[in-house]
Chains A and B, each alone.
Chain A
Amino acid sequence: MVKPYQKLREETTARDRSLREKVMSLEEAASMVHDGDQVALGGCTMSRTPIAMIWALIRAGRKDLTVSRSIVSTEGDLLYASGVSKHIVTSWFSQGIVWGISKVMRHYTESGAAKFEEWSHMSMGLRYRAGAMGVPFMPTRSMLGSGVRDVIGDAVQDMTCPFTGEKLLLLPALNPDVALIHVPRADEYGNAHLDGLQFMDIDIAMAAKRVILTTERIISNDQIRRTPDLTKIPFFTVDAVVEVPFGSAPHECYGLYEPFFPHLDAYAKATTRDPVAGVTDYLDRYYREPKTWADYLSLLGMGEMLDAARRGRSIYND
């Protein structure tokens, strides 16, 4: 489960960490994700979800990915239903509390067609952090005495602290094969800004073997160097930069657009009525039929886009 340290170091050494241009298309970036990879998604729930990259992976017919994320929303439904993933590792999985329990998640997990591996939220974060730190595990005082810990079984270990004699739980490091992270701004080398909520994205970028960034826009390296304190992900962890405006739609990107609520209400309604037909129709209509990302956004509609953008930018009004 934990990657041997020698292998972790060798993989990192083998990467081209030079300051080089790495801008490419969604399709080219999707080819860097292989069937069976362990893939970490940045963002959380409906925020900065790498929707455009997931859109490209579904269209490319990628399969059997093990997908991890702090909290999983509608993208989890789509990953299950498209066959891209049958195994999601997360702390919470449903569209969002105001929409109730995801009927799609229920359908796939209750029938045994797909696995939802549950860890506490902090445990997810500490696993990525251990991966980012290059240590094999992280001790914690959480999850002890719970069913969550029991179901995880031998993947975690109890420990008596050698200093204090206290009971602790050891969480295994998580070093994903690929991290997919959506950001508001990055340069062509992969130096990335994160506005507002950072979620677990910095640790994920540091822990992963490859990082694919999608960005709302590409800015110059001069711009990056003017405010280096704003760079949260350094270029040498990044392998691909894809410019995708509205790359998290219909989810949100901090300060740019909020969730597309009417669209998400309609999705919840359709998948509640009939989980399988609802999600299959949705995948056909929004993921398979559009020829380009612009076509996809056109389907979401200008009205919803403007409304989401107005609400998104309103955070800077006062």
Chain B
Amino acid sequence: MTERKNYTASELLAVMSARILHDGQVVFAGVGVPLLAATLAQRLHAPGLTILFEGGVLGPFVVPGQLPPSTNEQRCTRRANMLLPITDVLLLLQRGYVDVGFMGGAQIDKFGNLNSSYIGDVDNPKIRLPGTGGGNDISSLTQMIVTMKHEKRRFVEKVDFITSPGFIDGGTSRADSGLPTGGMFKVVTDLAMLGFDPQTREMMVEALHPGVTLQQVRDNTGFAIKENGVETTMPPTDRELSVLRVLDPERIYTA
């Protein structure tokens, strides 16, 4: 626990997320850590990973040190196979060409529903957040990986507002709502790797990051979280960290 770590929380998120992306997959990546992690996976173990960006980009290879400020600027298009209108890149999700959607989260609940719209009441919000962007479409139409900081105020029993649906109220409620495909697959935090019970669809701890205890995860989760044969992840390797730092030398997304 007191051991000095040679990586930041965001670097840990990027590395752990990159590891669960496989060569040959088609991944729809949001801006920030997802973009970085997908690019990292391409450079490490998944050169055949196809990235899609919301701005209308199919299969790019982002230049190290030139990470785009959103998924809608020209930096996203480097060495892409195709550029297409926003509506059409999003329709690839509906058509079923995408294996994994991958994005960050502001607030998540035990059924994997995400809120990026309102903190507090919709009619009189304490904080108006930026909104869904493509988040709702991605989470409605494909299997999701979410990466976020593990804090009690972010991991809540029930989100204030469902911007991007996970398993809604658990059980079969997602399919019953008209979303027969997709759903939450993994949540990657700076403390643990989390999955979902195949029946109840409740979030559960699958693995802890080096030096993290189960109690620590429970203390930082706003609901009673279950666990499933908890393992420990391998710490980020020197290679993973060095490639990551070449990609983001100014630490735009990994400060």
Distance between A196 CB and nearest chain B CB, rounded to angstroms: 6
A167 to B72, CA, bound (A): 31
Stretch touching chain A among B3-11, B120-128, B185-193: B120-128
Q: CB within 8 Å of B: which of A246-284?
A: 252, 254-255, 258-259
Q: Mark A69-82, 1 if CB is under 8 A from B, else 0.
A: 01100000000000
| A156 within 8 Å of B (CB atoms) | no
Distance between B162 CB and nearest chain A CB, rounded to angstroms: 4
Residues of B within 8 A of A93 (CB): 130-131
Contact indicator A92/B130 (Cβ below 8 Å): yes
With contacts A116-B131, A122-B91, A126-B87 taken as known, whether A142 is within 8 angstroms of B72 at the C-beta atoms is no
A101 to B90, CA, bound (A): 24
A143 to B93, CA, bound (A): 13
Residues of A within 8 A of B128 (CB): 105-106, 109-110, 116
A153 to B154, CA, bound (A): 27
Residues of B within 8 A of A46 (CB): 69-70, 72-73
A47 to B75, CA, bound (A): 11
Stretch touching chain B among A50-58, A197-205, A290-298: A197-205
Residues of A within 8 A of B126 (CB): 110
Q: Mark A10-26, 1 if CB is under 8 A from B, else 0.
A: 00000000000000000
Q: Mark A88-114, 1 if CB is under 8 A from B, else 0.
A: 001111101110011001100110000
Q: CB within 8 Å of A: which of B129-180?
A: 129-137, 140-141, 161-165, 168, 173-174, 177-180
Total chain A interface residues with beta-carbon distance under 8 A: 61
Contact indicator A120/B134 (Cβ below 8 Å): yes
Distance between B38 CB and nearest chain A CB, rounded to angstroms: 15
**Which among A119, A126, A144, A201 is the interface contact of B177 at CB below 8 angstroms?**
A144
**Which among A102, A129, A144, A198 is the interface contact of B56 at CB below 8 angstroms?**
A198
Contact indicator B140/A197 (Cβ below 8 Å): no
Contact indicator B177/A203 (Cβ below 8 Å): no
Contact indicator B133/A92 (Cβ below 8 Å): yes
Distance between A144 CB and nearest chain B CB, rounded to angstroms: 4
Residues of A within 8 A of B252 (CB): 98
Contact indicator A142/B69 (Cβ below 8 Å): no
Total chain B interface residues with beta-carbon distance under 8 A: 56
- A92-B131, A120-B137 are known contacts; what are 16 more A-B pairs with Cβ within 8 Å? A92-B130, A94-B130, A101-B130, A106-B127, A118-B132, A120-B135, A125-B90, A141-B140, A144-B177, A144-B178, A145-B178, A148-B163, A199-B55, A259-B69, A259-B73, A315-B74
24 A-B pairs (CB sep. < 8 Å):
A91-B133, A96-B69, A97-B32, A106-B128, A109-B128, A116-B128, A116-B131, A120-B134, A120-B135, A121-B134, A122-B91, A125-B86, A125-B87, A144-B179, A145-B174, A146-B165, A147-B162, A148-B117, A148-B136, A148-B162, A198-B85, A198-B86, A199-B85, A203-B87
B interface with A by C-beta (< 8 Å): 31-32, 54-57, 69-70, 72-78, 83-87, 90-91, 93-94, 115, 117, 122, 125-137, 140-141, 161-165, 168, 173-174, 177-180, 252-253
A interface with B by C-beta (< 8 Å): 44-47, 70-71, 90-94, 96-98, 101-102, 105-106, 109-110, 116, 118-123, 125-126, 128-129, 140-148, 151, 158, 166-169, 196-203, 252, 254-255, 258-259, 312, 315
